[in-house]
Structure 1
């Protein structure tokens, strides 16, 4: 069987990708574009450091909490419906973010935006698994990774242009409204171009969604991210609670996974089929992407704050520092798709190594920039190769981790993988930007603050390199997925 082809009433794959990737770009742009807006938000709303960190992490927290449940709901009841609902909520949240007149209202609106983004994102992975196969699927995931990288890198540039062009007071609000405007356009196109799905014939109703599993995983995510997003040390007790909830979630999902195969079971299914974690490509790929993003996202936040508050540069200059890296993502991505299945694990390892070397040079040069011995534009040059490494790691890993996942489990599998990515992104942002602020404000040494923040990111990437090297050494190449999706497993087995 070949890839699904357009018919009179079925949109082309190009239209489907357009509908899927425009909201994906906006959802991730909503993270990175805020980086250059933080000083303006601080001045306008008198936010303070702790509340400013919540502008970043509150969105990621809400995003992460709903991902897996939304992915499973899309698998069961229709991905197009969940995609459209999530996009509508995203648009409303972005609109109210720009209207907020206090930091509290802004953070509530940001969390609403995050819920919408968390609902629509796993449907994107599910739709790719559903509508594409073979090399077409690899190319689609290659574009998926490129969109992620481009949104993270180009967001500060767009934010800088908006703030410099319209002024700080209106500019920070427009950084949210642009998401709302483009999101509304994406919603219109989704109604026109997304495939109309037949409702899945299921019994058991809400139990099929595994509400207890959803609650346990949500509490785990909150227990991890809430203390990391707060200045209150007492909230770190939440980390202990998160461990308990995680163990309960694993026990419950394992129980339902075993029960799922029972001939007497007609109602209960796990939120995440635990046999997914017996697929090495899925578990290692999820770990690679999560660890890499845990370090990468903070780079552009640190550079934006360093340029504006440490060096007195404009928001536009702060945003432009990441432009060469974004260009490298766009240039590199088209060449990777054809090599994913034959050389994928080598590509991932070399991508991490390129990124490590690039960031190490950037970390070493930062103090001389603060001292006035070098131009700030050197950071644009030294971080540019990160775009190449980013495309190699994220595009390739995203393709490999989903290569052996059955279509009917794609939403939940993608949702869990993205949940881990959001958790690590939030933890990385809070830890690395927290370290950066502590040194910059406590010691008044902006150059050393950048250096130490980048060395913290390097720590994330060293672990990624070790894992990628182990994967290359131990596992054979990932096979090209068959055109026909594997059937849903009927009995517990290491292989889905």
Structure 2
């Protein structure tokens, strides 16, 4: 997906390697800093908004469904544009697409902060998610372009650290901003905080980021707009009955699930035809012939559906149900993020030694941690619930760090290098679509149970759905481990025909 950092050719902009010399530009680390700040912004907006939801609900008189769209709409738009945006950056120039996405993200953040209605906010969040989808694939591609060898590993390691920090800092920073600015209008600053960062990044990106030597005009059909539209419509039809469960009475809304299945079937058919015509599809179906790849994609979709919805229902329960401040709610969910950050690097080092069983251990820890969180809320009800859930959430976070990075390594292990960019983009798309599905499903169950004294019950039911998603991911991981062992046993039997089982 990306060219070598020492690519000979047209570019002589600052940040590009000196043409023909093979000597990396000394400003590449500054250029990396610009990429990391932009990545931090887009990922921060996944977690920072959670603690602002009760304030948004009060300030804009927002319905439950609109609160869900504020989160799942961002995740869905983000995921749908990852693969086309990566292809657009390769073709038209990563610096140009990066700057376009950053400009749009900054303007959308301003629109979110200035929202005067929930519809305004939801639309602005969709645009913000689209912009995030434009930025994200350029970061990994620029790292591949600017760095090589050990330096590339260090750069990707720094990016991984930023991913972890953005998850950890999000709830705390959001809570702090609302505490300082006030509950009534403080939620607006959760979005306005992006404005100075976006402006500074834009100015530095123009000076420091390299051009793409192979950039050339691209046709609209090369971005597979039909595939993007079909996938988006199929996932949207799947989400609607869950998100609108309280607003749309009756059972006819569930017929949309049949429409969703039909649209997704047409999407798969369309993608197959694209591949047959040698047109790059938004989803490379050939990758799904690799067992490690399709199982890894399914696992991470289910896992993201479970774990991202935890923050959604936990902050709502603590703030609306137990009257925590936004800062207190942010502190309460921090143990999960801290635990994940602590074990993420460990999981990356151990995956080569233990393989998929390491992911099984992580998913087991997450499942146990979430079950214990629900138990803690029942044993210690009321305002002390935040303290009671700290240790179980830490256990779940420690397990989470053994899931995401190791699963990515294992999922991409058999993918040919030439298809690594498309495979990685598809994997990220699965994560974002999983987040959207999880928030919709868990939110529907949570809001259906909320009553005058029903916050604890609603939280229990919401966590139960989250646990079900994570448990489904665990079953997929166990199935992969068993299939791998059966394959290894067959190989050993073929190598030793005289061997008999006891």
Q: TM-score, normalised by structure 1?
A: 0.84
Contact 1:62 1:111 survives alignment (8 Å): yes
User: Within 2, Cα distance between the matches of 1:207 and 1:370?
Assistant: 56
Decide whether the 8 Å contact of 2:108 with 2:128 is kept in 1. Answer: yes
SS in 2 for 1:427: helix
1:160 and 2:171 matched = no
2:345 equivalent in structure 1:
334
Where does structure 2 lack aligned partners over 5 or more consecutive residues?
7-16, 486-502
Q: Does 1:219 align with 2:230?
A: no
Residue 127 of structure 2 corresponds to residue 112 of structure 1: yes
Report if the CA contact (8 A) 1:227-1:236 is conserved.
yes
Aligned to 1:208: 222
For residues 161 and 214 of structure 1, the distance between their equivalents in structure 2, rounded to whole angstroms, comes to: 38
> Structure 2: how far apart are the matches of 1:71 and 1:84?
14
Q: 1:400 aligns with which of 395, 410, 430?
A: 410
Query: What is the RMSD of the two structures over their aligned residues, measured on CA atoms?
Result: 2.9
Aligned equivalent of 2:89: 74
Residue 403 of structure 2 aligns to a residue whose secondary structure is helix
2:111 corresponds to? 96
Q: Which residue of 1 aligns with 2:263?
A: 245
C-alpha distance in 2, partners of 1:326/1:299?
12
Relative to 1, partners in 2 of residues 1:74 and 1:408: Cα closer, same or farther, differing over 3 Å? farther
Q: Could you tell me which residue of structure 1 aligns to residue 291 of structure 2?
A: 280
The worse-fitting range, judged by mean Cα deviation, of 77-86 and 43-52 is 77-86
Give 1:113 deviation, angstroms.
Answer: 0.6
Contact persistence 2:178–2:327 (CA under 8 A): yes
Residues 462 and 367 of structure 1: CA distance in aligned 2, closer, same or farther (over 3 Å): same
Q: Which residue of 2 aligns with 1:52?
A: 67
Q: Report SS of the residue matched to 1:313.
A: coil
Contact 2:376 2:385 in 1 (8 A): no
Cα offset, 1:167, TM superposition: 0.6
Of residues 385, 400, 405, the one that matches 1:390 is 400
Query: Is 1:322–2:333 an aligned residue pair?
Result: yes
For 2:198 and 2:94, the matched residues in 1 are separated by 17
* SS of aligned partner of 2:95: helix
SS in 2 for 1:30: helix
Higher mean alpha-carbon deviation, 315-324 vs 119-128, is at 119-128
- Given candidates 340, 365, 377, the residue that maps to 2:376 is 365
The answer for the alignment partner of 2:9 in structure 1 is: none
Change over 3 Å in CA distance of 1:224–1:138 after alignment to 2 = farther
Q: CA deviation at 1:467?
A: 1.4
- In the alignment, which residue of structure 2 is the partner of 1:256? 274
C-alpha spacing 1:255/1:462, structure 2 compared with 1 (3 Å): same
Which structure has more relative contact order (CA 8 Å, sep 6+)? It is 1
* Structure 1 unaligned regions, length at least 5: 261-267, 477-496
- Would the alpha carbon gap of residues 338 and 322 (structure 1) be closer, same or farther in structure 2, given more than 3 Å must change? same
- Over 3 Å counting, the alpha-carbon distance change for 1:320 and 1:458 in structure 2 is same
Q: Which position in structure 2 is the counterpart of 1:423?
A: 433
Give the aligned partner of residue 61 of structure 1: 76
Question: Aligned equivalents of 2:27 and 2:290: distance in 1?
Answer: 31
Q: Which residue in 2 is equivalent to 1:494?
A: none
Q: Which moved more, 1:429-438 or 1:223-232?
A: 223-232
Q: For residue 131 of structure 1, report the CA deviation from its aligned partner.
A: 5.7
Q: Which one of the candidate residues 187, 190, 204 is aligned to 1:175?
A: 190
Deviation at 1:319, TM superposition (A): 0.5
Question: 2:498: which partner in 1?
Answer: none
Could you give the per-residue CA deviations for residues 143-171 of structure 1, whole angstroms, max 9, x where no partner exists? Answer: 55554444334322111111111211331
User: CA contact under 8 A between 2:306 and 2:466: conserved in structure 1?
Assistant: yes
Greater Cα radius of gyration, structure 1 or 2: 2
Q: Deviations over 1:352-410 (max 9, x none)?
A: 111111111111111233256x5531212220122221221112222333344455544
Aligned to 1:42: 57
Question: What is the CA deviation profile of residues 395-426 of structure 1, one whole-angstrom value per residue up to 9, with x for unaligned ones?
Answer: 22223333444555444333322222222111
376 and 274 in structure 1: CA distance in 2 versus 1, 3 angstrom threshold: closer
Q: CA deviation at 1:432?
A: 1.1
**Of residues 277, 289, 312 in structure 1, which corresponds to 2:300?**
289
For the residue of structure 2 that corresponds to 1:169, the secondary structure is coil
Normalised by the length of structure 2, the TM-score is 0.83
